[in-house]
Structure 1
Amino acid sequence: MAKVEIYTTMLCGYCYRAKKLLEERGVSYREIDVMTDGKLREEMRARAGGRSTVPQIFIDDRHIGGCDDLYALDRAGKLMPLLTASS
């Protein structure tokens, strides 16, 4: 299974939705809370090409985007192949 990282904040509805979809697909992920840590938020921005909203999702270090992007991949049938591809 691919390595999944998701940058979040505690009070973010989109973060909740993204995590819920991953959990429904049986995917474990590393959650990185950027709410009170400026260094982690800067790390997220650097990795996400300047995007500053949460969530920002990475699969095997590839930037997927936010919640809507994750759902779009799932609807297109492209999420599970990304998650199950060999690193």
Structure 2
Amino acid sequence: MAKVEMYSKFMCPFCIRAKHLLEKKGVDVIDIPATKPEKRQEMNARSGRNTFPQIFIDGKHVGGSDDLAALERAGKLDAMLGL
């Protein structure tokens, strides 16, 4: 199974939606709270974006919640997750 990392912030509805989709698939998500400036800078450096969440599957940036949902609708997410 793929390693999934997600930069998030507390009570972010997009973060919650993305995490629920991944957990529904049985994926353990490494949640990285990006509330501290250094974690937010790390997220920006890795993703080139400053919105939440930012999701990485096996180190590859896949985007945010809407991007994750689009991968699911296109039938591509399971393969990326190694399911």
Q: In the alignment, which residue of structure 1 is the partner of 2:80?
A: 82
In the alignment, which of 50, 53, 64 is matched to residue 51 of structure 2? 53
Q: In the alignment, which residue of structure 2 is the partner of 1:44?
A: 43
The normalised TM-score by structure 2 is 0.97
Give the C-alpha shift of residue 11 in structure 1.
Answer: 1.7
**Deviation >3 Å, runs of 4+:** none
Q: In the alignment, which residue of structure 2 is the partner of 1:15?
A: 15
CA RMSD in angstroms, aligned pairs only: 1.0
1:16-50 Cα distance to aligned partner (Å, 9 max, x none): 00000001111111000012x1101000000002x
Unaligned 5+ segments in structure 1 are: none
Tell me the distance in 1 between the aligned counterparts of 2:37 and 2:3. 24
Identity fraction in percent: 54
Unaligned 5+ segments in structure 2 are: none
1:59-86 Cα distance to aligned partner (Å, 9 max, x none): 001000000000000010000100107x
How many residue pairs match? The answer is 83
Give the C-alpha shift of residue 54 in structure 1.
Answer: 0.5
